């Protein structure tokens, strides 16, 4: 069984995240929406560091040393490029894995889960932080890019936000 859909989804989610990150400027690095919230820069750092941890510790994939991950300067453009570079570098290893490898169980914090479950948890974790940052963009009165469909700022012909009962009840054409 091919797991190409996993890798396609992972790369697509990475690109969506890069699109959101690109909505910030270097002046936003220390911006936070509330004193208890993380700054933009802290979320960027967390994404890069925690993704490395998921892949290295929980999936046992080869990863750069933690000290080699973060760019020296707090730059939106450089951090965005680094996040994408690290994700793309994971693809050949993941593509080479067998069905059995994906279904092997591994420790995940204080539980044990299949690698495929851990992988999807990573994708969802990234989506969670990307959603945080779309709120930050809205609070900064910046355009929010499309991730899974139109936004108030980005739409296109044929986009359907499904805001009515009629739209929800449509059947395939």
63-92: per-residue pLDDT in tens? Answer: 999 999 999 999 999 999 999 999 999 999
Residue 14: pLDDT band (50, 70, 90) is: very high
Residue 2: pLDDT band (50, 70, 90) is: low
How far is 77 from 114, CA to CA, in rounded Å? 34
State both tokens at 98.
């067998």
Distances (CA, A) of 129 to 1, 13, 133, 135, 165: 31, 12, 6, 10, 30
pTM higher than 0.75: yes
Q: What percent of the chain has pLDDT over 90?
A: 80
Question: Helices in 1-145 by DSSP H: which ranges?
Answer: 4-21, 40-53, 76-95, 99-103, 115-139
CB neighbour burial string for 55-84, b if at least 16 within 10 angstroms, e if fewer:
beebbebebeeeeebbbeebbbeebbebbb
Three-state DSSP state, 129: helix
pLDDT in tens, 106-164: 999 999 999 999 999 999 999 999 999 999 999 999 999 988 888 878 888 777 778 88
Residue-level pLDDT at 168:
85
Three-state DSSP state, 30: coil
Question: Is the pLDDT score of 1 beyond 70?
Answer: no
Q: Give all domains of the chain, ordered by start, each with its CATH number.
A: 4-168 (1.20.120.450)
Q: List residues bridging with 114 in a β-sheet.
A: 105
């Amino acid at each position: 069984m091919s797991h190409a859909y996993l890798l396609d989804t992972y790369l697509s989610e990475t690109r969506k995240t890069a699109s959101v990150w690109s909505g910030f400027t270097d002046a936003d690095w220390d911006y936070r929406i509330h004193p208890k919230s993380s700054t933009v820069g802290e979320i960027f750092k967390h994404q890069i560091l925690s993704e490395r941890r998921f892949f290295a510790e929980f999936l046992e994939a080869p990863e750069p040393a933690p000290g080699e991950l973060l760019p020296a300067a707090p730059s939106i453009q450089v951090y965005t490029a680094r996040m994408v570079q690290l994700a793309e570098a994971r693809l050949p290893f993941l593509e080479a894995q067998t069905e059995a490898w994906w279904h092997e169980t591994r420790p995940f914090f204080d539980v044990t889960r299949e690698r495929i479950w851990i992988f999807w948890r990573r994708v969802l974790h990234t989506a969670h932080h990307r959603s945080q940052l779309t709120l930050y963009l809205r609070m900064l009165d910046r355009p929010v890019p499309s991730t899974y469909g139109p936004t108030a700022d980005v739409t296109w012909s044929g986009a359907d936000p499904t805001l009515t009962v009629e739209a929800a009840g449509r059947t395939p054409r």
